[in-house]
Amino acid sequence: MPDLNHIHDVAIRAGKSAAELILFALDKPRIPDYKGKTDLVTKTDKESEELICSIIHAEFPKHGILTEESGPSFPDADYQWVIDPLDGTTNFVHGYPSFAVSIGVFHKSKPLVGIVLELPAKRLFTALKGQGATCDGSPINVSNVSSLIDSLLVTGFGYDHNDKWKTNMRLFQILTDKTQGVRRLGAASVDLCHVAMGIVDGFWEFDLHPWDTAAGYLILTEAGGTVTRMDGKPFSIYNDNILATNGALHPFLEAYTSQELRTFT
């Protein structure tokens, strides 16, 4: 069995190497392709993914990898690396400062390691199972806000303007009125880390993929937070929706998110 600290170190090295590539490209022309009408992908996404995968395969040639751009390799392996090589591509294309490299490592579907490198700030979030979470090497914890009226929340919106999108617009309206505000940054991995470090108190979103939450899920739970589906049921990175909070606010937010879920289930 590979040493957990070695896996952690390789994940950080891969994340930092990809971050250097991304930041170098930030000052160059950024010409996107389109996966959907407004869903962008760039050459940098693909180059970042290739770099991360090459570093992982050099150290762990039999580990599986699931990435946003290329899909799975060795999907039956016990160890799985779940990667978003550039979370927040649209922000990157526009030079808006909220994007990240996200790498989560799982053993038999259990999270072991999570790293998120928030860019362009170069803020490194890490977590090892059972060992807490850090930001730039210092321990982090969720906030102790216990009432919605004192809270600041964050959410995200999918690219498809479907029933879930309409439901989320209602939630945005409701919770903006019940809290001190709701923000939308555009990178789910960063949103989860911001809850983990206590600068926002809760996060919810529809239409997610495994690479959106694989690293941030562990970072937040190791920082003392609570993560479920929006209906309160146990969360998996293969679910398409998430409710993530500092714990104290979870029952209050779940009351609203679960109610809105019932409008289309």
From residue 122, alpha-carbon distances to 3, 14, 43, 98, 179 in Å are 26, 14, 21, 11, 30
CB environment 187-210: b (16+ within 10 A), e (fewer): bbbbbbbbbbbbebbbbbbbbbeb
Do 262 and 220 contact (CB within 8 A), yes or no?
A: no
Cα 265 from Cα 261, distance rounded (Å): 6
Half-sphere exposure of 56 (CA within 13 A, CB side): 30
pLDDT at residue 39, as a whole number: 42
Reported as a pLDDT band with limits 50, 70 and 90, residue 264 is low
Q: CATH 3.40.190.80 in the chain, residues?
A: 148-261
pLDDT at residue 41, as a whole number: 61
Mean pLDDT of 68-94: 90
For the chain, percent of residues with pLDDT exceeding 90:
77
Beta bridge pairs of residue 139: 134
pLDDT at residue 29, as a whole number: 59
Reported as a pLDDT band with limits 50, 70 and 90, residue 1 is low
Mean pLDDT of 175-180: 97
Report the sign of the C-alpha dihedral through residues 185, 191, 197, 203, in that order.
positive
**pLDDT for 97 beyond 70:** yes
**14-23, 25-34, 99-108: least confident range:** 25-34
Do 203 and 235 contact (CB within 8 A), yes or no?
A: no
pLDDT at residue 265, as a whole number: 54
**pLDDT for 201 beyond 60:** yes
**Topology of domain 148-261, CATH:** D-Maltodextrin-Binding Protein; domain 2 (3.40.190)
pLDDT at residue 26, as a whole number: 85
Q: CATH 3.30.540.10 in the chain, residues?
A: 4-139
Cα 54 from Cα 38, distance rounded (Å): 29
Structure tokens at 68: 């946003």
Cα 204 from Cα 183, distance rounded (Å): 11
- CATH node for 4-139: 3.30.540.10
Mean pLDDT of 231-259: 96
For the chain, percent of residues with pLDDT exceeding 70:
94
Q: Which residue type does 93 have?
A: V
Higher pLDDT, 25 or 229: 229
Q: How confident is the model over 228-241, as pLDDT tens digits?
A: 999 999 999 999 99
Mean pLDDT of 146-160: 93
Reported as a pLDDT band with limits 50, 70 and 90, residue 147 is very high
Radius of gyration of the chain (CA): 17
Reported as a pLDDT band with limits 50, 70 and 90, residue 185 is very high
